[in-house]
Amino acid sequence: MDLIEITPASHGVELDLAYATADNFTGAPVYARAACYLHRAAEEKLRRAVDLAAAIGLRLRIFDAFRPAEAQWKLWHHTPDPEFLADPRRGSPHSRGVAVDLTLVDGDGRALEMGTPFDAFTPLSHHGNTQVAAEAQRNRLLLMGLMTAADWDFYRCEWWHYQLFNSRRYPLWSDSALPRPMMA
């Protein structure tokens, strides 16, 4: 299988998987089981980003990674907004296992200020938005620098979203691709 499980122990990251809880824009859990996976190619680049962040005393906190196609449909049915969600008919990089939503945390486990919360579907979440505080702009640029140095592409509308270049070349996967399902 090309999907590799990402855990705090195996990858030195924090997991705060928003869609496994009600603390997300839908107000309800989307995943029945909290788990984090990435395609093998993305997992290698995540390791590089973890190392780059660690070198400056920071860690990565992951909100979402592989998202089964069934979950993408649930999100789309709740909020069919193509600026912030991929139309599941075209497929999301998340459903290919080559996207990750994340932020930076300091040595005490406090998230760096990014100006908006994860999944704030507003122009304030766009990269380069100068209406957020200067500290948040710096932190977003720091995250972008770490991720792009690790060979990730960014999505201009979401400061938290990174994906592999040419993500459409990877296959779409449903929940059945996992050794243990994430969906109910």
How many residues does this entry show for the chain?
A: 184
Residue found under tokens 């990269």: 127
Q: Which residues are catalytic?
A: 158
d(CA 161, CA 76): 17
d(CA 121, CA 1): 33
Residue found under tokens 């380069």: 128
Q: Is 138 left (phi over 0), alpha (psi -120 to 50) or beta?
A: alpha
